[in-house]
Structure 1
Amino acid sequence: MADLTFAPGPPGAIINDPSGGTPDGGTGSTIRRVRRAWSELSGRRRRISIGGAALAVAAGTASVTAAEAPITTGIAIAMVGVLGGAAAIVDVHERRLPNRLSGLSLLIVAAAALLDDPWTGVDALISMSMAAVPLWVVRYGRGLAFGDVKFAAVLGAATGLVHPYAGVVVVWVAALSAGVFALRTGRRRLAFGPWLWAGYLTGGVVVVVVQALLSIGGRTWPARP
Structure 2
Amino acid sequence: MIVGGVVGLALAPLMLVLARRSTRTARPTSAVESVAGALVAGVGIVAAEVGGSATSLALLASVAVFGGAAMIVDVTELRLPNRLVAAQSVAVVLAVSVTGGADPNALIRAAVAAAAMGMVATGLLFVVPTAFGWGDVKILPSLAAATAFLGWRCTALTVGLSGLLLLVSAVTAALNRPGGDVPYGPALVLGTLAGVALTL
TM over 0.5: yes
For structure 2, the 5+ residue unaligned runs are 1-16
1:57 aligns with 2:44: yes
Instruction: State the TM-score, normalizing by the size of structure 1.
Output: 0.64
Instruction: State the TM-score, normalizing by the size of structure 2.
Output: 0.71
- CA shift, 1:50, in A, is 0.8
Aligned ranges for residues 145-156 of structure 1 at < 5 Å? Answer: 145-156=133-144
Runs of 4+ in 1 over 6 A off after TM superposition: none
For structure 1, the 5+ residue unaligned runs are 1-27, 209-225
Q: Which protein is richer in helix relative to its size?
A: 2
- CA shift, 1:100, in A, is 1.1
Aligned ranges for residues 83-98 of structure 1 at < 5 Å? Answer: 83-98=66-81
- Percent identity, please: 26
| Match for residue 121 of structure 2 among 135, 145, 151 | 135
Residue-by-residue CA offset, 1:138-165 (whole Å, 9 max, x unaligned): 2231431121011111112122332245
Residue-by-residue CA offset, 1:156-212 (whole Å, 9 max, x unaligned): 21223322453344344333322234335534421111111121122112322xxxx
1:121 aligns with 2:97: no
- CA shift, 1:134, in A, is 4.3
1:159 aligns with 2:142: no
Aligned CA RMSD, in angstroms, stands at 3.0
CA distance in 2, matches of 1:55, 1:126: 30
The structure having more radius of gyration, on CA atoms, is: 1
CA distance in 2, matches of 1:191, 1:156: 19
Aligned length: 175
- CA shift, 1:80, in A, is 2.1
What is residue 182 of structure 2 aligned with on the other side? Answer: 190
Q: Specify the SS of the correspondent of 1:32.
A: helix
1:105 aligns with 2:88: yes
What is residue 13 of structure 2 aligned with on the other side? Answer: none
